[in-house]
Structure formats: C-alpha cells, structure tokens
Structure 1
Amino acid sequence: MLLPGSPNVTPAAGLSFPDAGHGAVRLFRMQAMVGIRRREQRAERRSRRGSLSGRVGAAKGLRARGSDLRTQGPAQGWCARIPRMAATETDLVLERFVSETRSVVPTVAVWAHGSLALGDFQPGRSDLDLIAIVESPLDDGRRDRLAAMHQRLMDEEPAAARLHCSYMAASSLIEAEADHLTWAHGMILERPVTPVTRRELLDGGLTLHGPSPAELLPPLTHGQLEDFIRRDLAGFWLPATGKPLLWLRDVRVDLGLLVLARATVTLRDGRLITKGEALAELLELGAPADVVRDIRERRYAEPAPIGPVRRIRRGMRARAFVRRGINHALAPGAQHRPGIDRARRSPASGTGPRGLRHPGRPVRPSAVPTGVGALRPTSRAGPRR
C-alpha cells in the first residue's frame, strides 16, 4: 500500500553522494536537528497519551452499553491482534469512528486492513487503515462533512492522527482502477484501493461493521496483483532510487527496503507478509544487517540518533540495494531463474499492504483542513507508514 510524511526534499540537479561535499554535510546536520526536534515532539505526544487513562476510564460506560466492535464477530479478532495495553484507546477510536461515519453518510460496511489485519499492529506507530463502503457516490456536501468529522476526531483523539480511510461507493467495487475519496495525512485525497489492499481484505480483513469483504468485494483476476506490483516498482520506486537526498529520510529507507522484501515474497510465493516478516526476509536477500537493525529499532523500539556521516552511508547503501533488487525484479523471468542467488532474487514491489501507496491527489482546496495537513505526501504510497 499510500505512504507518510515529512516535508519533501528536492535534490539539486545532478547531485550525487560522492560529490555532495560540505553543502551536503550541512544539510544532513540540519536534518539531524530537525529529526531531534521531531523525536522530542513524539515524546511529548506519548506523555500526553499517558494522561488519557482518566478519559478512557470515563468512556467505559460507553463500551459497557455495548458496541458490536468489542462484543461481536470479527471485532473480537481485532482485539486479539493488537497488544492488550493499547486495545482500549485504539478500540475506542474505532468505535467512535464507525458511529460518527454512519451518522454522516449511509454506510454499508467498515473494514480494517494493513497491520491491523495482518497482526503486526504497533500502537503509536502503525496506521489504522480502514475502508468504508457507502451506499452511493459522495457529493460535495458529504465530502465536507466527512472532512470535518475526521478533523474533529483528530483534534479530540490522539490515536486518530494515524487513522486513514477510503470511501468506496457500493456501485464501484468492481472498478479496480477507480479513485475513491480518501482521508489520509490530515487531508482529503483521491486515490484507488489497490489490488494489494483488496487482497488483504479478502484474505483476512477485519469487519468492524456490516458484511465481510468476501461478501462484497469481487475476487482479483489472475495476475492482477503481480501486475500492479511490477507497475508500482517501475513507476514509483525505481525512479525514487535516482534521487539521493530522498534516502536521507528514515521513512524512505524503511519503506523502500520493506516494500522490496514484501514484493519479493508476493511475486515468488503469491502471499502477503507483515513488516516484521519482511525484516527477516531482508536479511535473506542480502540487505545490510545494520540497516535492517536500524529499521527494526524504529518500528519496535526506541532508535538511537543517527549522525550525518552515518546517514549518508546508510542512504547510499539502502538506495543501491533497492535499485539492484528492482532491476532484478523487472528483468524477464527474474523470479523463475533456477540458479539465481537469493540475495539477487528480485523483489518487486511498490506495494506493502495497500500498495504502500502514493498518497493520491488532493481534492478541492476548500475541503482540505488546515493545520494537520502539513504532512505532505511525496508521491504514490510515496511513504505512508
């Protein structure tokens, strides 16, 4: 799958790491300072979350009155797939989201996919990736009301900052390439629900309201998933390896390598894997062990700061590894050559769950809320964690 957000860094024409010189080092130091400030802001947000316990306790009455999210069917599976300590806050946000969405638009079903469905959900780091099936296409009035609802939810519930949702009209479920209204990164976008997301939903999507994905979504056609992955690789990730400054960002390194590993497994074995499983796959593919460890720590622990020189070297190695893997993935018959070393076997990707999608195209400036919209997507799943 749409992924993620810090401000874009546009590389100067012809710039490469070996020729970057002192100007690049100054840039890296500046970015390191920005990174430190962002870590401080994340720490502040985590400390504020700790003060939510009183409000969550006050909300127990709401849950006690009963919500189909906590007491029925697939929702029990959702609670079992996230760490118990985080179930209360996240579940409360999902309950409220489903309730408020149904009050704004006629809603047929609400499903969860991504880490939530694959069992690798990390509170405070993983996105809440949702799909809402609505009865009919949304007019401008309903779009505005949905944008206002999402903004209000973000303002009042810290966990909602990572909630993303695409709204699919029931009449357009069969149209795989169609764009759908999507809330992500604090703004309204238009983007498709990719074959990766559809496959996730069909294999194990969590039903939060209404019929299950298998009851409404048509099955993927033969080769549809693989074709999408190869197109995403060639159209987004391969060009990205030619932009060195992008690979100074943590999110680019993380997504680039994880997407590569997940795509490799999907093209080779026909199955989807979690980001945790992708980390193990990366080592088998020959990725630099220290870079893989760095990615793991950002997802599952508290990573140590990275200095400018190490950041440069890490970006160079990650970019070279991803480019080499993509070239092998796109080579004719690369996935089927019997004698190929696994470390050189092609990942083909641009897809994680949801295709690690590019964030999509913003719609109508009037519908885009201010403030939180500062998370600017760089391109298609251009990173969205």
Structure 2
Amino acid sequence: MTETDAATARLLDRFLTELRALAPVAVWAHGSLAGGDYQEGRSDLDLIAVLEDPVPSGTVRELVRLHRRLRVDEPLAVKLHCSYLTPAGSVRLISKREALDLLPELGAPLDVVEDIRRRRYGDPAPHTDEWPARRAELTRGYLGPAIDGLVATYEGFTRA
C-alpha cells in the first residue's frame, strides 16, 4: 500500500466509523471508487448512504458536523461526496454522463457542462488562462441561489 493509498483508506475508515453512529441502513461506493479506476487526488470518493426515513433534524446536524470535522484535518475530504437517501423515496440513480445530458435542461451553463464532458470523456487538453475564473463565475451564478436557499432552510439545524 502506498502512502496515498493509506490516506484514502484512513479517510474512508474514519468517515465510515463516524457515520456508523448514525445507524445507516446501507453504505456503498459508486463511480471510479467502485469501478476500480480511482485515482487519489484526482477522482472523487463517491458514496451513497441510505438512512432511515424520516431523517431526524439531529441526524442532519450530525452529518454536517461530520463532514466539517473531516475537512479540517483530512486533505482528501474535499473529494468525499456522499449522497444520502431514504428507502421511502422512489429514487433512480443516474450516471455522470446522464447527469451531464440533463443539466442544460435544468438551466446549467452549457459552456460549463461541455467543459466537464470534454475533460471527463474526451480531450483533457489544457484550458485557456481565463477559463477557470469564467467557469467559476458561471457555476456560482447557476448554483448560488439554490445553495443560498438550502442554507437558509437548514441554518437553524446546523448551528453547533
């Protein structure tokens, strides 16, 4: 096991150990982590956790705290993406490719969607020096209002 493998294993072990206290019904990996082509530092750590329904507000608070704690002292935690589902919901998981097909219909900036598609499935050639700032601006413009609304909804739940 390399040092980077150890960092990924440490993060996942810590996450799952702390998540266990919230009694998830199931947890599994998907994406590159499950497919065997995970690359530390480049790939996301994609997980799905199924929680009992209804999810108590205390559980929501603990999940927020868990992710915050991990981000403080686990460098790879920024790559950890866990989707939380409940068995009551009728949910169909979709692939990243399917999501990229749907995002423009939801109002996502086409330039950003096409950039993601190109880098993930096509030519990972370098971008122009101006593109990262423009991409960030477009992405914030699209996601900002939704994030603000979500934060406002849960603001009372996430205070320590």
Q: Which amino acid aligns with 1:240?
A: P
1:90 maps to 8
2:155 is aligned to 365
Is the 2:100–2:113 contact (alpha carbons within 8 Å) kept by the matching residues of 1?
no
Once the 2 structures are TM-superposed, how far is the Cα of residue 128 of structure 1 from its aligned partner? 1.1
Q: Deviations over 1:57-99 (max 9, x none)?
A: xxxxxxxxxxxxxxxxxxxxxxxxxx95521100111011111
* Residue in 2 that maps onto 1:124: 41
Match of 1:240 in 2: 109
Q: Is the 8 A contact 1:130 1:164 kept in 2?
A: yes
1 CA distance for matches of 2:34 and 2:73? 25
- Between the aligned partners of 2:67 and 2:113, the Cα distance in structure 1 is 27
SS of residue matched to 1:195 = coil
- Could you give the per-residue CA deviations for residues 264-297 of structure 1, whole angstroms, max 9, x where no partner exists? xxxxxxxxxxx4xx22xxxxxxxxxxxx2425xx
Deviation track 1:85-136 (CA, whole Å, cap 9, x = no partner) reads 5211001110111110111x11121111122123332212221111111233
Aligned-residue RMSD, C-alpha: 3.4
Contact 2:118 2:124 in 1 (8 A): no
- 1:255 maps to what in 2? 116
Pairs aligned (count) = 144
* Paired letter, 2:36: G
Runs (4+) of structure 1 moved beyond 3 Å? 251-254, 305-308, 358-361, 366-369
Deviation at 1:144, TM superposition (A): 0.7
DSSP-derived class of the 1:257 partner: helix
The question of 1:165 aligning with 2:94 is answered: no
Structure 1 Cα separation of the partners of residues 17 and 56 of structure 2: 20
The residue type paired with residue 109 of structure 2 is A
**Aligned equivalents of 1:146 and 1:233: distance in 2?**
27
**Corresponding residue of 2:140:** none
The answer to whether residue 93 in structure 2 is matched with residue 194 in structure 1 is yes
Which amino acid is 1:119 matched to? G
Tell whether 2:55 aligns with 1:156.
no
Aligned to 2:53: 136
Does the 8 Å contact 1:147/1:367 carry over to 2? no
**1:24-57: CA deviations, max 9, x gaps?**
xxxxxxxxxxxxxxxxxxxxxxxxxxxxxxxxxx
Q: Is the 8 A contact 1:111 1:131 kept in 2?
A: yes
Report the Cα offset of residue 171 of structure 1.
3.1
- Could you tell me how far apart the structure 2 residues matched to 1:171 and 1:138 are? 11
Structure possessing the higher relative contact order (Cα contacts under 8 Å, 6 or more residues apart): 1
Tell me the residue number matched to 1:294.
125
State the structure with more CA Rg.
Answer: 1
Q: CA 1:236–1:122 in structure 2 vs 1: closer, same or farther (change >3 Å)? A: farther
Q: Are residues 1:108 and 2:44 paired?
A: no
Check conservation: 1:108, 1:132, Cα contact below 8 A: yes
Assess, with a 3 A threshold, how the Cα gap between structure 1 residues 95 and 150 changes in structure 2: closer, same or farther: same
Q: Which structure 2 residues correspond to residues 18-57 of structure 1 after superposition, within 5 A? A: none
Shift in alpha-carbon separation, 1:89–1:234, aligned structure 2, 3 A: closer
Question: How far apart, in 2, do the equivalents of 1:252 and 1:84 lie?
Answer: 34
Identity %: 33
SS in 2 for 1:135: coil
TM-score, normalising length from structure 2?
0.70
Deviation at 1:366, TM superposition (A): 3.4
Give, in whole Å, the separation in 2 of the partners of 1:118 and 1:155. Answer: 28
Q: Aligned pair in 2 of structure 1 residues 122, 253: CA closer, same or farther (>3 Å)?
A: farther
In the alignment, structure 2 segments of 5+ residues that lack a partner are 136-142
Q: Structure 1 length normalisation: TM-score?
A: 0.32
